[in-house]
Amino acid sequence: MTTTQLPAGLRAVVFDVGETLVDESGAWSRQARAAGVTAFSLMAAVGAAISQGRDHRDAWALLGVPAPRSVPDIDGADLYPDAVGCLRAARAAGFVVGVAGNQPSGAEAAVEGLGVDLDFVAASATWGVAKPSPEFFRRVVARTGVHPDQVLYVGDRLDNDVRPARAAGLRTAWLRRGPWGRLQQLRPDEERPDLELADLAALTDALRAVATGDGDGQPGATV
């Protein structure tokens, strides 16, 4: 069984969207069709851009085609199987629960339609500020209503999630799935995230342990 120890003193858990709650494979495939290239070609170009430390949007230039103007919507069918259960476990454990990511306007309604009781949902397009800007994480903290070190931010990217969240004083969980989570690597001298997760299952178990009172009912319980 995976052992996950939540940082002590947590009062809020905030989740990224893409490759944290939502499997973006379908969205990228739809973007490939719109651009007239195969999904295989686009995925390879995205992986090459990430591995080279470039912006993933450089994939279109690598392929020699313009990026589609359309932005794919969040589809409930694209949710990872462990997403809703983890959100609900955080709510049942008594945490402030939020979702905040680099998403287009309108993404909030799609997330709110998942049927989970959330304290807030925020999209970068609505805020007018995107990760990794420090202002994005200041707004995340403001929406939780607690101190930065009482917030756990869960995301798949080192560059957009873990590093800027930590710099803003938040606790961090690095979800190592999706192209960023698998291809990006910590620097040898870099502080490790508070949690490193292969999926959301271990985090869900730790949150449920808090909800049921294991470990004295405090964040920091080990399962």
Helix then strand then coil, in percent of the chain rounded to 5, is 45, 15, 40
The span from the CA of 69 to the CA of 89, in Å, is 37
Maximum separation of any 2 CA atoms in the chain, in Å: 57
The span from the CA of 10 to the CA of 173, in Å, is 12
Number of Cα atoms under 13 Å in the Cβ half of residue 177: 20
* 22-72 pLDDT tens trace: 999 998 999 999 999 999 999 999 999 999 989 999 999 999 999 998 877
Q: Give the model's pLDDT for residue 223.
A: 29
- 216 pLDDT band, cuts 50/70/90, is very low
For residue 165, give the nearest of 204, 194, 134 by alpha carbon. Answer: 134
Q: Give the model's pLDDT for residue 220.
A: 38
What average pLDDT does this structure show over 152-180? 97
Whether residue 199 has pLDDT greater than 70: yes
Average pLDDT score over the chain: 90
